[in-house]
Chains A and B, each alone.
Chain A
Amino acid sequence: MNNLYRLFTQQKAIVAIAVILLVMVAAGGDVSRIFFSSYNLLDMLNSSTILVILGLGVTLTVIAGGCDLSIGGILVVSGILSIQLQNFMPMPLALVLAVLFGTLVGFFNGFLVVQQKTEPFIITLGVGLLLTGVAQQLSDAHPVPANNPDFMNISNGYQFGDGQFTEGHFPGIPNLVIIMLICFVFFAWLIRYTSFGRNLYAIGGDYDVARYSGINVVANKWMTLVISGTMSALGGVLLSSKLNTGSAIYGDFTALVVNCGVVVGGTSFAGGVGGIWQSVLGLLLFGLLDNAMNVLNIPSWYQMMLKGTVIVAILWMDSYTQKRKRELV
């Protein structure tokens, strides 16, 4: 019984994924067929990519003991900027600036959280809200259409194939997935093989011990927010490319989903634990959940409620395991 409990709390993501897969198998008939089709699986992967890209940066902040709730706001502003700036300059420059915007915001976040020692959860929330307003301003609350096929191709193009899903014909891999994989590999390397990455575990695990060991806790923590901001901006640009529009509506829920996905995968808000593989697993869970709900034709509001419930349940479990740990000591 104890082992089952441990499995449940430590490998929440795997258990949840297993449950969903079981449900999809049990649903049988058309539902199962559609769900497990290559088209759908690829589509699922495709739609998880943005969450994963955001999650990579957030993971760093959470490992170091903080969090970043401004990612939604950065996402939408950068997304809109990436399209609007193309009216004034060549596309590559526009994209670079859009991403740099995220870096700048990350730097500002770092200043507030690390240098000024403000609570990260609430101040990044505030920054996110501020940016959502800015995004609405920039877009005049209408989706901003892009009209550059090259831009659209960034996310939607395929490599090693032509994107056609016909019998016996390999469609290729979407650019977006490739970009995600590259980022994934980079971050997985970063977290395990660089001193920066290892130091983050120390900082999140025991701030004072890390400090006494000569680790520059301030600079490192600051950096996590800079990286998180940059990745959010990157995600925003790629999302705009994928949808071929920039819109302000994707911001609000995203911050919650991504932070939660990271936690469910095993990177606890307590800090010092978790990793890239775990976070990705947690985020894929949400992608899986979304997809499964769509295939099951669950109406969108019920999806929202289900997702909200899952999120609360996950957070509740995270707090509960913290409590249990405290009582054992």
Chain B
Amino acid sequence: MDTAGSEIILSIREVTKSFPGVRALNGVSIDVRRGMVHGVVGENGAGKSTLMKILSGVYKKDTGTIVFDGKTIDHTTPYESMHRGLAIIYQELNLVNSMSVGENIFLGRFKEMKGMRGTHAKARELLDSIGCKVSTTKLVSELSVSTKQMVEISKALSFQSKLIIMDEPSTSLTGEEMSLLVKIIHQLKAQGISIIYISHKLEEIFDFCDVVTVMRDGNVIDTKPRGEFSRDELITKMVGRTIENEYPERSRQVGETLMEVKGINTRKLHDVSFTLRKGEILGLVGLVGAGRTETVRAVFGADRVRGHKVSIGGKPVTIHNPKQAKDAGLGLIPEDRKLQGLVLPFSVEQNISMASIDRFTRFGFLIKSLEKGIGARHVKSLGIKTPNTKVAIKNLSGGNQQKCIVGRWMEIGPSIFIMDEPTKGIDVGAKYEIYLLMKQIAEKGGAVILISSELPEVLNMSNRVLTIYDGRITGEFDPEHIPADVIMRAALGLGGAS
């Protein structure tokens, strides 16, 4: 495969992007050539989607240059980007479900297309060009994911795109649908269109990508023609080496079974079962959308899931809502603290106390002094930086807000503590404090279920790791003794060595 020699359609140079508390891209440079399928791999948080969102105009880069089709691009909007010939097909798909295929392809361009007739005629043409037979008048909501992708591709073609970015396109496709997609990709390639293909599925990368870029922690680790990579090398570069001294030593007092979960079945999850032991930190490893959060929410009773069995300490328990979960000794730190965890206009004290109201209620009355004590206690023990506990929680930094939520549950002292992205957006010092906390909980005879997008974090903190892929548990590992590559492989749905 001759990759040198064809001209560069997209040149990214030293692009950085930071969000409050985290550096998402750290001087990233990539060249994409015309007519090439350029694969991008990396685990959660590597920076892939941030980069793509900058390219398509959803985010603004902090520094660096981007040159597309010979023109330097500074600030842009999704609309301009599309018109310039750079299209992106997101995992979540940017279509209006309540409208027809034809109208979605030409959204906002009704007049240009000369009304309904022109829209549907041209849409038909585009769909036929990639071999898609769906009727242009069908509503998008009735389509399969695969067909929706075809519609998005047609949309990209309607703008005469020169570069199409596909973000995890194959997550919901069947084998047959995947073959169809590959056929189309080859077709586009033959037309001189470049494709950036983001995926975790290494078979795909090795199947039809010409060049591969590996990203990790906001950096580009390597970019080489596909033929020069071995699978193992790819995985190693994705995962990197874990730095031991950022994390406290694992507690080793793992005891007998504390909780058993059998047979969670939802639209996404398939027969998920696992056990949790006293004194252990159990990590759930998987890609975004694999089903980690769904699993813990089902256990916690946060979603209307029925049919699975949970037993704690050998006795079966019914957990159909968070209150029952609380009573059974569970606690949950939710994934999105702003939407699901914080009551922004309320005070630090009230946010911390809200799960333990029963504790400072006598005959229905709130004992304010007890509540105050609760607030003060956790502010102190967690090192929450706030002028006082009466301040509105929206004024605290993200890290401190998260600590308040931790404190909320620490007050209950659950025996089973579920933490979903507990250290997201928190500075290093505060992170370490939370790690110590997790360890403390385990050592006191409780257990922690940990979900984190940072692989090193999960691997270093957990006594045991479960990998979840596509709604199924694919493996159980001891992260202390099994290399990260093996675990990663299971999380990517691959079995055995390459």
Contacts and interface: CB of A to CB of B under 8 A. Distances in A.
30 contacts: A192-B116, A193-B115, A194-B110, A195-B108, A195-B110, A195-B111, A198-B103, A198-B110, A199-B108, A199-B110, A201-B98, A202-B96, A202-B103, A202-B107, A205-B98, A205-B99, A206-B96, A209-B94, A209-B96, A209-B107, A210-B108, A212-B78, A212-B79, A212-B94, A213-B79, A214-B79, A214-B108, A215-B107, A272-B96, A272-B98
B315 interface: no
B304 interface: yes
Contacts of B97: 205-206, 272
A30 interface: no
A193 B110 CA distance: 9
B77 to A, nearest CB: 8
B116 A202 contact: no
B252 to A, nearest CB: 42
Interface in A175-231: 192-195, 198-199, 201-202, 204-206, 209-210, 212-215
Given A201-B99, A272-B98, A273-B98, A213 B304 contact: no
Which of A194, A214, A215, A273 gathers the greatest number of chain B CB atoms within 10 Å? A214
B95 interface: yes
Interface string B77-102: 11100100000000000111111000
Interface string A241-281: 00000000000000000000000000000001100000000
Given A212-B79, A213-B107, A215-B107, 9 more contacts: A195-B108, A199-B110, A201-B98, A201-B99, A202-B96, A209-B96, A209-B107, A210-B96, A213-B79
B486 to A, nearest CB: 35
Contacts of B99: 201-202, 205, 272
**Which of B99, B103, B111 has most A Cβ within 10 Å?**
B99
A327 interface: yes
Contacts of A212: 77-79, 94
Contacts, number: 54
Question: Which size bracket describes the interface of B in this complex?
Answer: 10 to 19
Contact of B304 (A195, A199, A273, A327): A327
Contacts of B110: 194-195, 198-199
B96 A215 contact: no
Given A192-B116, A193-B115, A213 B98 contact: no
Nearest to A63: B98
Contacts of B77: 212
A273 B98 CA distance: 6
B304 A202 contact: no
Interface in A287-329: 327
B301 to A, nearest CB: 15
Nearest to B56: A212
A193 B111 CA distance: 9
A318 to B, nearest CB: 15
Contacts of A201: 96, 98-99, 103
Interface of B: 77-79, 82, 94-99, 103, 107-108, 110-111, 115-116, 304
A204 B111 CA distance: 19
A273 B96 CA distance: 11
Contact of A210 (B82, B107, B111): B107
Given A192-B116, A193-B115, A327-B304, A215 B108 contact: yes
Contacts of A206: 95-97
Closest 4 CB pairs of A and B: A195-B110, A214-B79, A205-B96, A272-B98
B255 to A, nearest CB: 38
Nearest to A208: B94
A194 B108 CA distance: 11
A194 B103 CA distance: 12
B340 to A, nearest CB: 16
A201 B99 CA distance: 7
Nearest to A195: B110
A203 B26 CA distance: 36
Contacts of B94: 209, 212
A204 B116 CA distance: 19
Contacts of A198: 103, 110
Nearest to A271: B98
Nearest to B155: A213
Contacts of B103: 198, 201-202
A327 B305 CA distance: 10
A212 B56 CA distance: 10
Contacts of A215: 107-108
A321 to B, nearest CB: 14
Given A272-B98, A272-B99, A202 B115 contact: no
Nearest to B107: A213
A201 B94 CA distance: 15
Nearest to B57: A212
A192 B108 CA distance: 14
B54 to A, nearest CB: 15
Contacts of A210: 96, 107-108
B170 to A, nearest CB: 21
A173 to B, nearest CB: 30
Contacts of B115: 193
A213 B116 contact: no
A209 B152 CA distance: 12
| B107, B111, B115 interface centre (most CB from chain A within 10 Å) | B107
Contacts of A205: 96-99
Interface string A37-80: 00000000000000000000000000000000000000000000
A299 to B, nearest CB: 42
Q: A194, A201, A327: which has the most chain B beta carbons within 10 Å? A: A201
Nearest to A272: B98
Given A192-B116, A193-B116, A198-B110, A209 B95 contact: yes
Contacts of A327: 304
Contacts of A213: 78-79, 82, 107-108
A28 B115 CA distance: 49
A217 B108 CA distance: 11
A47 B88 CA distance: 52
A215 B109 CA distance: 9
Contacts of B82: 213
A267 to B, nearest CB: 11
Contacts of A273: 98
A212 B82 CA distance: 9
B80 to A, nearest CB: 8
A222 B14 CA distance: 42
B379 to A, nearest CB: 35
A202 B140 CA distance: 12
Which of A194, A212, A215 has the largest count of B CB atoms less than 10 A from its CB?
A212
A196 B98 CA distance: 17
Nearest to B97: A205
B189 to A, nearest CB: 26
B108 to A, nearest CB: 4
Best-buried of B108, B110, B304 by chain A (most CB within 10 Å): B108
A215 B82 CA distance: 13
